[in-house]
């Protein structure tokens, strides 16, 4: 009997020493299991999840967004949030755009769009949030998020109509969207950058008045970065 107990102890030490059991527990740990449930419920492939995890260990949540927020007892609460089929992930501001540019083409081939949902510009070390939808239709994303500029009497339908006109000449690619903001890569140069900058300023003066300060500076930035940016305060 003593020899049998010694044998069992020896076997147990070998298994623990080789880290067999901990590795199994780690592979289905609490965080991974929770993320899998979120992705499954939101219809996001685990291969997409695995790729985004290579860039960020931030919190993954079912897609939610609200333009209006309230602060109570140091907690930030969303007012009338939009819940959509997709996920969001927190990520450091320094890594957010690099992640989008690194994954956008790969995700597009899989039928997904990754985009900036919330840029916090590293204020108080608050992470940015990226959105991931299982669609490559930029207009569906803008409609679902209800992007608009109501303080300039531009509702969602009107804004989409404007962007569609630009899209014909510029071949726009969505890389950012929220309730009061949208951003696109310009894949085809316009015939006249100054004219395009003026058109943008006419519907979105905040990008100059609260941004670059001068229309010519905005035009030059747009030419250099090949990005069309709209934001309304």
- What's the pLDDT tens digit per position in 132-141? 999 999 999 9
For the chain, the C-alpha Rg in angstroms (whole number) is 23
| Residue 77 included in any domain | no
| Residue 88 included in any domain | no
Kindly give the pairing relationship between strand 181-186 and strand 227-231: antiparallel
**Tokens standing for residue 192:** 């006249």
More confident site: 211 or 9: 211
**Tokens standing for residue 233:** 């305060």
- The pLDDT of residue 21 is 38
In the chain, the number of structural domains is: 1
Rounded (10°) CA dihedral 149, 150, 151, 152: 60
Residue 102 clears pLDDT 60, i.e. is over it: yes
**17: exposed, middle or buried (C-beta count within 10 Å: 0-12, 13-18, 19+)?**
exposed
Residue 128 clears pLDDT 50, i.e. is over it: yes
| Residue 104 included in any domain | no
What are the φ/ψ torsions at residue 226 (nearest 5 degrees)?
55, 45
| Residue 58 included in any domain | no
| Residue 78 included in any domain | no
- The pLDDT of residue 69 is 67
DSSP state at residue 213: S
* pLDDT digits 0-9 by tens, 83-98: 999 999 999 999 999 9
Per-residue confidence at 29, pLDDT binned at 50, 70, 90? very low
- The pLDDT of residue 62 is 96
The CA-CA-CA angle for residues 200, 118, 156, to 5°, reads 45
Residue 12 clears pLDDT 50, i.e. is over it: no
The mean pLDDT of 159-178, rounded to a whole number, is 98
Q: Domain containing 208: what range?
A: 139-233
What are the φ/ψ torsions at residue 130 (nearest 5 degrees)?
-100, 145
145, 65 in Cβ contact below 8 A? yes
C-alpha–C-alpha distance, residues 83 and 63, integer Å: 6
Please give the mean pLDDT across all residues of the chain. Answer: 87
C-alpha–C-alpha distance, residues 203 and 208, integer Å: 11
* pLDDT digits 0-9 by tens, 178-230: 999 999 999 999 999 999 999 999 999 999 999 999 999 999 999 999 999 99
| Residue 109 included in any domain | no
More confident site: 66 or 127: 127
Residue 10 clears pLDDT 50, i.e. is over it: no
| Residue 100 included in any domain | no
Residue 26 clears pLDDT 80, i.e. is over it: no
What end-to-end distance do the CA atoms of the chain give, in Å? 79
pTM: 0.83
228, 166 in Cβ contact below 8 A? yes
C-alpha–C-alpha distance, residues 197 and 229, integer Å: 10
| Residue 211 included in any domain | yes
DSSP state at residue 154: B
The share of the chain scoring above pLDDT 90, in percent, equals: 74
């Amino acid at each position: 009997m003593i020899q049998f107990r010694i044998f069992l102890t020896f076997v147990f030490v070998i298994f623990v020493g080789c880290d067999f059991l901990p590795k199994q527990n780690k592979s289905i740990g609490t965080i991974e299991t929770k993320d899998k449930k979120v992705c499954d419920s939101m219809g996001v492939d685990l291969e997409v999840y695995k790729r985004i995890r290579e860039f960020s260990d931030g919190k993954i949540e079912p897609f939610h967004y609200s333009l209006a927020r309230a602060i109570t007892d140091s907690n930030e609460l969303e007012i009338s949030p939009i819940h959509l089929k997709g996920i969001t992930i927190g990520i450091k501001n320094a890594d957010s755009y690099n992640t989008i540019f690194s994954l956008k083409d790969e995700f597009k081939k899989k039928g997904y769009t990754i985009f900036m949902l919330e840029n916090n510009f590293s204020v108080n070390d608050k992470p940015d949030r990226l959105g991931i939808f299982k669609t490559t239709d930029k207009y569906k994303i803008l409609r679902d998020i209800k992007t608009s500029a109501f303080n300039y009497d531009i509702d969602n339908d009107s804004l989409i109509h404007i962007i569609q006109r630009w899209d014909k000449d510029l071949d726009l690619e969505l890389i950012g969207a929220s309730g009061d903001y949208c951003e696109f890569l310009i894949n085809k140069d316009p015939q006249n950058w100054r004219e395009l900058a003026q058109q943008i300023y006419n519907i979105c003066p905040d990008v100059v008045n609260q941004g670059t300060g001068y229309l010519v500076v905005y035009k030059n930035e747009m030419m250099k970065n090949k990005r069309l940016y709209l934001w309304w305060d």
